[in-house]
Chains A and B, each alone.
Chain A
Amino acid sequence: MTKRNKDGVALTVLRYDPRKGGDPYYQTFTVTATKDTTVLDALFRILETQDYSLAFRYSCRSAVCGSCAMFINGRHRLACSTLISQVGREIIVHPLPHLPIIKDLVVDLTLFFEKYEVVKPYVVPTRPLPGKEWIQSPKERSRINDSTDCIMCAACYSSCPSVWTGKKYLGPAALLWAYRFAADSRDGVLRDRLGVLGLEDGLWRCHTIFNCTEACPKSLNPARFIESLKRTATKETLKARIPFLS
């Protein structure tokens, strides 16, 4: 057991080094912390004073770049915006669960980004481009509110039981983006989008468990967007089958 003094915090990290192989293991470090110290700050202190080999991702330290999502004391959080004073004096940091570990707290997000690409993550206009901007009313703009604010940290993806059990399932982040483009007044390919989303590993694998919503460090609600897509998909299918509805 690592001893800690009165200002000390015991920070346990799940370690894994592919060069060494073997199973991941826990290692506990003692770090000092003030009221402003974040978990990311503490990881840097460990890196620079105790273990030069510790690996983790970082960039903006202002909760927007999406690099440092981790599983901290049983919750998905961004290390940069998690104050140690909020989580207690004993802290356990895991890499994002259910993802392949590259090293320590760094996980492989290749599949996560590939699934994002499946949903055609860009606006596809079908009308001729205007000379200036498209006119989009504030009401039309508000339909995509929040769905534009995802920072692609993969917390929701890592938290979703349907992802754990269905490796091909697109997952909450990709579906949030699918909603964002389908709901944009400038996009013209809703039917094509729903075609992809209606496949076996699309929308309908979401079982509205809401882990994604709980995990999102930006307080977004991916489940709501997925539900909205399901309603749209149902309506469009009915319209196609029952002519007088359209």
Chain B
Amino acid sequence: MFQHDVIIVGGGLAGLRAAIESSALVDTAVVSRVHPLRSHTKAAQGGINAALGNAEAGRDDSPDKHAFDTVKGSDFLADQDAVELMTRMGPECIFELEHWGCPFSRTDDGKIAQRPFGGAGFPRTCYGADRTGLYLLQTVYEQSVKRKIKQYQEYFVTSLIVDEGLCRGVIALNIKTGEFVPIVAKATILATGGASWIYSISTNSMINTGSGMTLAYRAGVPLKDMEFIQFHPTGLYPSGLLITEGARGEGGYLINNKGERFMERYAPKAMELAPRDIVSRSIQKEIDEGRAFENACVHLDLRHLGRDKIMTRLPGIRELCLLFVGIDPIDKPIPIRPAAHYTMGGIDCNANCETPLKGLYAAGECSCISVHGANRLGGNSLLECVVYGKVAGQQASKFAKSVPDRTDERLIESSLEREQKRVEGFQKGNGAEEPAALRDEVRLILTQKVGMFRSGPDLEAALDQIRRLRRRFSQLRPIDLDRVFNLDLIRTFEVESMLELAEIITASALARKESRGAHVRLDFPQRDDENFLKHTLAHHTPTGPRLDYSDVKITRYQPEARKY
């Protein structure tokens, strides 16, 4: 058994940022299913927003304007107190990262460079070429090394230890030995990332299966606004790999098979830099209406930017194109289509990152505070990780200090036993179902029926299919447990989570009879503030999610029509 004051599940940007903060006060450890440097943060490309006003065209920017853009981008579903805190803390958090050595790109006068991004009134997105995520993750990892923060690398957390309404740590599978171990803590922060790998067309890392979200869910914490899945406009065709919004920020065009810059029809002012939900739907419309290449993709054309700009500002996506589709964007346009990218929803928590379960906190993509509402602006997710990672670290360490030292050996013993029994269930499976087959099916169902354009009948059919898959999951073939580096077992845990999340996403989408941000119902095409200006909360029950709703916090910005 291991014991710490605060443990953080997840070693990405939010998790390590939380660890840096918490370790200053109390004994802190990071538990991650992969080495922290393999986390999905590293794949982020375009940048991180903060109203620094460093760019010539950004002199009049301010945290307030950043807050307004974020709220409008969210289609007014974001909690405005949380948004204001994030945009206010943005600049200081960016400077802190810079002081730690983050290698941002620079303006001519040596300041942090900023580029335009979708839905933003000013060039506000700080960047390091198109490798911002790599640089940020590396920077916080360096600081965790400097501070000698204890890490449990390649430990896959399978459940929370809960005692009388208090979270007391986690049970984790030590991947390298195959053993289950309790890691006990006075406060636990979940920073496990998003779930967009549950869609068959996705920009995400394969580890983004949302298994951290279901940890909280099964322990009684609701998942909030799970119907809001962001589709990134420019996933590389066919793999879905991310092509940064920075490519459009630097001036890239979207072109259909008629050679038209079709965004003129959908967002005549903002064009390619409209928010992601709008650009993605526009691309999908072009594809659906027969103006696609190979009936499947449109082109992202960077050729007019010239070799120099592509080589200095977008070298990473050039490399991706060369490696994966054999295309050099200097000479040829890039084939792209929308791909599932980000879960706006997540573990229900407030602006202190506290979940309804005492001692449990959440930060980063797995959480829903909510600062992104119905649609996230590009560049705001890295900022959320940094700001709310810091907040979570502060709050959790403060809480840990207030909790008396008390280890209930029996509780830990019984939690461990329960987990072992659950896993033995996998081993004793007497069916023939393949977990991988169930996973492939659910990913396809979500893409086809719970995608960018939704309808009541499709969602009902999807829900029915997903429930059938969940029943089939109880008839798995036996999973061998006696193994080191047991991918088969880990991936079985993942499929269990994916099926559960798929049901929650679909049920939440079916109940939201309006169109808002990334959630579009063809049968309810308008936003309905009277009935749905509220957060969906999905609660765990043995028979599936139970839904209720909570209010949106509105401080300064009253809902208005969203035009770009």
Q: Which of A36, A64, A120, A144 contacts B134 (CB 8 A)?
A: A64
With contacts A55-B487, A103-B484 taken as known, whether A137 is within 8 angstroms of B324 at the C-beta atoms is: no
> How close is A147's CB to chain B, nearest CB, in angstroms?
9
Q: Is B226 an interface residue (CB 8 A)?
A: no
Chain B, 190-235, CB within 8 A of any chain A CB: 205-207
With contacts A122-B146, A135-B110, A137-B110 taken as known, whether A62 is within 8 angstroms of B238 at the C-beta atoms is: no
Q: Which of A67, A106, A137 contacts B38 (CB 8 A)?
A: A67
In the complex the two chains form, is B142's CB within 8 Å of A65's CB? no
Q: Which residues of A sit under 8 angstroms from B37, Cβ to Cβ?
A: 65-66, 151-152
Q: Is B303 an interface residue (CB 8 A)?
A: no
Q: Which of B40, B134, B485 contacts A106 (CB 8 A)?
A: B485
* Residue on B nearest A106 in the bound complex, by CB: B485
Question: What 0/1 pattern do residues 21 to 48 of A give for CB contact below 8 A with B?
Answer: 0000000000000001000000000011
Q: Which of A59, A81, A83, A136 contacts B206 (CB 8 A)?
A: A59
In the complex the two chains form, is A52's CB within 8 Å of B43's CB? no
Q: Is B418 an interface residue (CB 8 A)?
A: no
Q: Which residues of B sit under 8 angstroms from A123, Cβ to Cβ?
A: 100-101, 142
* Residue on A nearest B144 in the bound complex, by CB: A122
Q: Is B184 an interface residue (CB 8 A)?
A: no
Q: Which residues of A sit under 8 angstroms from B135, Cβ to Cβ?
A: 148
Chain B, 95-121, CB within 8 A of any chain A CB: 95, 98-101, 103-112
In the complex the two chains form, is B142's CB within 8 Å of A122's CB? yes
* Residue on B nearest A150 in the bound complex, by CB: B138
Q: Which residues of A sit under 8 angstroms from B99, Cβ to Cβ?
A: 125, 129, 133-134, 186
In the complex the two chains form, is A62's CB within 8 Å of B106's CB? no
In the complex the two chains form, is B488's CB within 8 Å of A122's CB? no
In the complex the two chains form, is B103's CB within 8 Å of A65's CB? no
Give bound CA distance, A57 to B479, whole Å.
20
Q: Is B319 an interface residue (CB 8 A)?
A: yes
Chain A, 65-118, CB within 8 A of any chain B CB: 65-67, 81, 83, 102-104, 106, 109, 113, 117
Q: Is B323 an interface residue (CB 8 A)?
A: yes
* Residue on B nearest A109 in the bound complex, by CB: B35
Give bound CA distance, A11 to B94, whole Å.
47
> How many residues does chain A have at the interface if contact means C-beta atoms less than 8 Å apart?
58
In the complex the two chains form, is B38's CB within 8 Å of A48's CB? no
> How many residues does chain B have at the interface if contact means C-beta atoms less than 8 Å apart?
59
Q: Is A166 an interface residue (CB 8 A)?
A: no
* Residue on B nearest A180 in the bound complex, by CB: B103
* Residue on A nearest B435 in the bound complex, by CB: A48
In the complex the two chains form, is B176's CB within 8 Å of A62's CB? no
Q: Is B320 an interface residue (CB 8 A)?
A: yes
Question: What 0/1 pattern do residues 423 to 446 of B give for CB contact below 8 A with A?
Answer: 000000000001010000000000
> How close is B52's CB to chain A, nearest CB, in angstroms?
8
Give bound CA distance, A58 to B138, whole Å.
18
> How close is A219's CB to chain B, nearest CB, in angstroms?
8
Q: Which residues of A sit under 8 angstroms from B483, Cβ to Cβ?
A: 19, 53
In the complex the two chains form, is A81's CB within 8 Å of B323's CB? yes
Q: Is A121 an interface residue (CB 8 A)?
A: yes
Q: Which of A48, A67, A121, A135 contacts B34 (CB 8 A)?
A: A67
Give bound CA distance, A103 to B486, whole Å.
10
In the complex the two chains form, is B128's CB within 8 Å of A148's CB? yes
Q: Which residues of B sit under 8 angstroms from A243, Cβ to Cβ?
A: none
In the complex the two chains form, is A59's CB within 8 Å of B34's CB? yes
Give bound CA distance, A180 to B487, whole Å.
35
With contacts A81-B323, A133-B98, A141-B105 taken as known, whether A149 is within 8 angstroms of B145 at the C-beta atoms is: no
Q: Which residues of B sit under 8 angstroms from A140, Cβ to Cβ?
A: 110
In the complex the two chains form, is B101's CB within 8 Å of A59's CB? no
In the complex the two chains form, is A47's CB within 8 Å of B100's CB? no
With contacts A62-B242, A62-B320 taken as known, whether A122 is within 8 angstroms of B110 at the C-beta atoms is: no
In the complex the two chains form, is B485's CB within 8 Å of A102's CB? yes
Q: Is B42 an interface residue (CB 8 A)?
A: yes
Give bound CA distance, A117 to B145, whole Å.
7
In the complex the two chains form, is A133's CB within 8 Å of B319's CB? no
Q: Which residues of A sit under 8 angstroms from B323, Cβ to Cβ?
A: 63, 81
> How close is A170's CB to chain B, nearest CB, in angstroms?
15
Give bound CA distance, A187 to B434, whole Å.
53
Q: Is A54 an interface residue (CB 8 A)?
A: yes
Q: Which residues of A sit under 8 angstroms from B98, Cβ to Cβ?
A: 133-134
Q: Which of B38, B95, B482, B486 contacts A66 (CB 8 A)?
A: B38
In the complex the two chains form, is B485's CB within 8 Å of A65's CB? no
Q: Is B179 an interface residue (CB 8 A)?
A: no
Q: Which of B91, B434, B484, B488 contacts A18 (CB 8 A)?
A: B484
In the complex the two chains form, is B205's CB within 8 Å of A60's CB? yes
Q: Is B247 an interface residue (CB 8 A)?
A: no
Q: Is A225 an interface residue (CB 8 A)?
A: no
Q: Which residues of A sit under 8 angstroms from B43, Cβ to Cβ?
A: 60, 62, 64-65
* Residue on B nearest A184 in the bound complex, by CB: B101
Give bound CA distance, A187 to B146, whole Å.
14
Q: Which residues of A sit under 8 angstroms from B52, Cβ to Cβ?
A: 132
* Residue on A nearest B325 in the bound complex, by CB: A36
Q: Which residues of A sit under 8 angstroms from B484, Cβ to Cβ?
A: 17-19, 55, 102-103
Q: Is A193 an interface residue (CB 8 A)?
A: no
Q: Which residues of A sit under 8 angstroms from B105, Cβ to Cβ?
A: 141
In the complex the two chains form, is B131's CB within 8 Å of A136's CB? no
Give bound CA distance, A28 to B302, whole Å.
43
Q: Is A195 an interface residue (CB 8 A)?
A: no
> How close is B175's CB to chain A, nearest CB, in angstroms?
9
Q: Which residues of B sit under 8 angstroms from A81, Cβ to Cβ?
A: 323-324
Q: Is A61 an interface residue (CB 8 A)?
A: yes
With contacts A59-B205, A148-B103, A152-B37 taken as known, whether A48 is within 8 angstroms of B436 at the C-beta atoms is: yes
> How close is A187's CB to chain B, nearest CB, in angstroms?
8
Chain A, 179-224, CB within 8 A of any chain B CB: 181, 184, 186-187, 218
> How close is B190's CB to chain A, nearest CB, in angstroms?
19
By Cβ-Cβ distance, the 5 closest A-B pairs, closest first, are A123-B101, A135-B110, A55-B485, A122-B142, A48-B436
Supply 10 further A-B pairs (C-beta < 8 A) apart from A60-B42, A83-B324: A54-B487, A63-B319, A65-B43, A67-B34, A102-B484, A135-B110, A148-B128, A151-B134, A184-B101, A186-B101
12 residue pairs from A and B, CB less than 8 Å apart = A18-B484, A63-B320, A65-B34, A66-B38, A67-B35, A102-B485, A122-B145, A123-B142, A136-B106, A141-B105, A148-B103, A151-B37
